[in-house]
Structure 1
């Protein structure tokens, strides 16, 4: 049996920002749009959620922002965005990054598991030496994003992706660890033998307290 896998949610767990929103703001600014354009697009998503759209539906609506854009162009934007975020400091949650390095040092495969998409996640994966990235894959035709989503990895679909990877690699999920910060990560946390709750989401905190799950802070406590 292979060594266990360590699954890391990204936004709000491994990093302190919501990558797709920061990426969109960066991309719009690079193309000369005022900050109000980003605010308007974010407000439209907020209105969609307020009207009852699911997390999955909102995720799909977000990627319509990139309809018609070349895949390689957005990959390059992603590299510039990540370099800027990382250079600014404070991008990573220290306690979680330390755990990621410990899993890697122990010979376990590190897996990024996220509703974000490749332009945001590939530069991050290279930096932390992740072994695999399971993420939302927007639909592509003729080298351009269509604005639709071919393969969402959000909510319960994260658990499906994690289960499939464990099966492919011959890994017992009881030997795996997963990190998450939001109640949408619960299906993955319940799937593995070693769930870790990051931060203070009330739903996850209640599960952690009741079931004895490990917990990590989002920030280093002040001295």
Structure 2
């Protein structure tokens, strides 16, 4: 029997809390996409080519080329490679990292803060210019980690070398705002972590934020 005066139907979803975090230099003491590329190159016996390629990206950054541009150039390395092949390479790299955790450390205090947020039931959301195959070990530690990351363009199950979306700079803030709206996240009661001035825009959306001392990655 329906109670008079009370609307029937689904109750409004209670707002959730989240911890939004950059990865490279904030959670990991190494640059995930650079080191993943080096691992791939070592497996294919072309490490010299990889170092030349990465040196070109670093030189462009020093000369003032925007991060969105250098991030897009990075994905030229994977042009023509199948999605499954790169995913399997990511699994092998994560296995290597798991076997030598001292060589591939997570950074404090953010790693412990994420552990605490996870135990508290908050959503954990990576906000990163990296891409999914390079983040497998991070997701092994935090299995429920959601990814807001760079999305490479794919055709016929192969990477084209181009991007659907580069998640750098103001794109990070846009992605966080969209995620919060979609999942009913109360940003005022949420948390954000980063290590670079380009992270400040998305960090400003959260009620609490921490800009950590940048790690040396690259």
Deviation at 1:52, TM superposition (A): 2.9
**Residue of structure 1 in register with 2:31 after alignment:** 18
The Cα of 1:50 is off from its aligned counterpart by 3.6
Cα distance in 2 for partners of 1:105, 1:50 equals 40
1:81 aligned residue: 93
Which of the two has higher C-alpha Rg?
A: 2
Q: Return 86-95 or 147-156, whichever deviates more.
A: 86-95
The aligned counterpart of 1:138 is: 152
Contact 1:3 1:107 survives alignment (8 Å): no
1:125, distance to aligned residue in structure 2 (A): 1.5
TM-score by length of 2: 0.87
SS in 2 for 1:69: coil
Bigger mean CA offset, 14-23 vs 152-161: 152-161
Which of the residues 183, 193, 214 maps onto 1:169?
Answer: 183
C-alpha displacement of 1:123: 3.9
Distance 1:131 1:118 in 2: 11
Q: Which runs of 5+ in 2 are unaligned?
A: 1-13
Structure 2 Cα separation of the partners of residues 47 and 98 of structure 1? 34
Higher relative contact order (CA 8 A, sep 6+): 2
**1:100, 1:149 → 2: CA distance?**
29
Structure-1 residue corresponding to 2:106: 92
Q: Which has the higher helix share?
A: 1
| Structure 1: gaps of 5 or more residues | 202-217, 219-223
Correspondent of 1:30 among 33, 36, 43: 43
The Cα RMSD (Å) is 1.4
Give the 5 Å matches for 1:63-212. Answer: 63-90=75-102, 91-199=105-213, 201=214
User: What displacement does 1:95 show?
Assistant: 1.9
For the residue of structure 2 that corresponds to 1:150, the secondary structure is: strand
* SS of equivalent residue, structure 2 residue 204: helix
**1:191 aligns to what SS in structure 2?**
coil
